Structure 1
């Protein structure tokens, strides 16, 4: 049978209140008493009840995180970073899979409220007004991962999507490509869609290359099927393309599949660059050149940022993480 706080108090010859104060680092006891109680806790292998402690100090040392697809390579990298930060700081994490559903998201917010989480992390999708209002009613801090709010002042951790695609397009141009197309996500997406489009267009303009609307095709999402379906459309609209920038690695791998089905060799006939640097980029044939989002670090920094807010350690604002081009084998150097 597991030891209880009453067992510890009886063996240490102190009150239950004294044991509780020692467990929660509150004053009101001597160093000698603390040492005696800690020794008894060790001897009895006493495991404090986290829920009971939370009722005393108003903290459960638990973070909630809302993710649209818990099984995706994108989300799993973020989650590993969050969990690493939480574990290092003595917190646990409750993961909620929202499936991009407003109803599920609201339901999970109610569950997390009942679980008395100390703070929330929200990732990879737009923060709707209903979510924000509910989180405000919960009265706990919120940090955004790989997204941001253009309406509310909320701390976030992400890359600069516009600059990342600017560098990706500039990389292709530096390799001698002047006929470049883009497979984009939803242009109505002001957080990740439109900024990546803007970066692509700006890079062409800054390198004195012409641009017309036919050079971009749009998907509703950033998925494999979108890239597979949209590459043939992009090639039909633009004769002589030598390179394609895809707005996600999944889209890029979809484009690789479509190129193979069309008899196009990558990179000999067509170069492709992705965006994210997910594990799938290393697994594709040929291995995919891509823009790296440091997703593990985004999760780790965001988790640490949320804990800092919970513990009142600092004033926290948004943070832009660095990105880099990961060179593999899908971009041909025409400049040589």
Structure 2
């Protein structure tokens, strides 16, 4: 029998001679249907090619079994690894994922959250380096739980999964100082962003203080998150007299290293580099780049698991989860 191209629940009910409620119960796995009737409904669904609409089901069940993921850049290796963890756990719990790309533009982030809310998603996972006030206000108005993955909000109110960025940057800073460097630069994103001002820079200063070195603001640099930005900031780092750098992004770190090598600096003999995200960029260079190791897949997976609990109104003891980090020592540091 030829399948109808856009069969509806009404077509299935008419074919079997049952009510819409009966078809709905079968589709949603309700056992309160006679086995013979259930078999007829399932056969009709197969014959007609009926595909239940998740949003339509949600109108009755209050759930769409769909979650939204807001990403600043779907091509960024760091965020794509987080997204893989999210997607695997979402599949495990039978949730579909709607992915949006925002280019870390607050206007697009606000639009993305609003659009996902209009699609009646059951929850949202937000990724990005900063949550502007407008974005936070939009999130506050969403009638669905929101979890941050690899991101922080300045007030620490939203549920989140991260590493301890303060301790991670502190460890990286003390490592290069112990290797003999007393002028260590740090490269971050915009200092107005909470993850930089309240975490990375705080960790950097804590490392300096532990090693009894005074903070020098001429060694603090803020730049964009790409390879060309690393090339551009590298000249300023060298001019400031630094002999080591902690970079917040792997592409930036590779740009810095290539500039140094192109200008006669030996890495790590003359200059040491530690980066922060430990993506594949750190492994395809020569030398390979020492990096703070982040459990990126686990951050995404744990964030999705937390979201499933929030969507089910389960009690969660800790909504500010920090997973352990490592320091992956490679060829851009001496030890």
Q: TM-score, normalised by structure 2?
A: 0.87
Partner of 1:62: 66
Q: Structure 1, residues 207-233: CA drift from partner, whole Å, max 9, x if none?
A: 33x234156231233432333222222
Q: Give the Cα separation in 2 of the matches to 1:38 and 1:273.
A: 61
Aligned length: 328
Stretch deviating more after TM superposition (182-191 or 137-146)? 182-191
Offset of 1:47 from its aligned partner? 3.8
Partner of 1:142: 146
Partner of 2:93: 89
**1:228–1:318 CA distance, 2 compared to 1 (3 A):** same
Offset of 1:113 from its aligned partner? 2.5
1:211 aligned to 203, 207, 214, which one? 214
**1:38–1:148 CA distance, 2 compared to 1 (3 A):** farther
Partner of 1:51: 55
Partner of 1:326: 328
Secondary structure of the 1:276 match is coil
**1:204–1:183 CA distance, 2 compared to 1 (3 A):** closer
Offset of 1:24 from its aligned partner? 2.5
**1:314–1:256 CA distance, 2 compared to 1 (3 A):** same
Q: Structure 1, residues 6-38: CA drift from partner, whole Å, max 9, x if none?
A: 5655676643312312332446445x4686468
Partner of 1:283: 284
Answer yes or no: is the 8 Å Cα contact 1:120–1:140 preserved in 2: yes
Secondary structure of the 1:94 match is strand
Q: Give the Cα separation in 1 of the matches to 2:44 and 2:139.
A: 38
Gaps of 5+ in 1: none
Partner of 1:260: 261
Q: Give the Cα separation in 1 of the matches to 2:130 and 2:193.
A: 8
Stretch deviating more after TM superposition (100-109 or 60-69)? 100-109
Secondary structure of the 1:283 match is coil
**1:108–1:286 CA distance, 2 compared to 1 (3 A):** same
Q: Structure 1, residues 244-295: CA drift from partner, whole Å, max 9, x if none?
A: 2222222211110110121111122222111110111111221111001222
Offset of 1:66 from its aligned partner? 1.6
Secondary structure of the 1:291 match is strand
**1:250–1:16 CA distance, 2 compared to 1 (3 A):** same
* 1:223 is aligned to 2:189: no
Q: Structure 1, residues 305-328: CA drift from partner, whole Å, max 9, x if none?
A: 112211223336111111111122
Trace 1:18-33 onto structure 2 (pairs within 5 A). 18-26=22-30, 28-29=32-33, 32=35
Answer yes or no: is the 8 Å Cα contact 1:183–1:251 preserved in 2: no
**1:261–1:214 CA distance, 2 compared to 1 (3 A):** farther
Partner of 2:105: 101
Answer yes or no: is the 8 Å Cα contact 2:10–2:20 preserved in 1: yes
Offset of 1:167 from its aligned partner? 1.3
Q: RMSD value over aligned CA atoms?
A: 2.6
Offset of 1:169 from its aligned partner? 1.9
Gaps of 5+ in 2: none
Stretch deviating more after TM superposition (268-277 or 99-108)? 99-108
Partner of 2:186: 183
Offset of 1:180 from its aligned partner? 4.1
Q: TM-score, normalised by structure 1?
A: 0.87
Partner of 2:247: 246
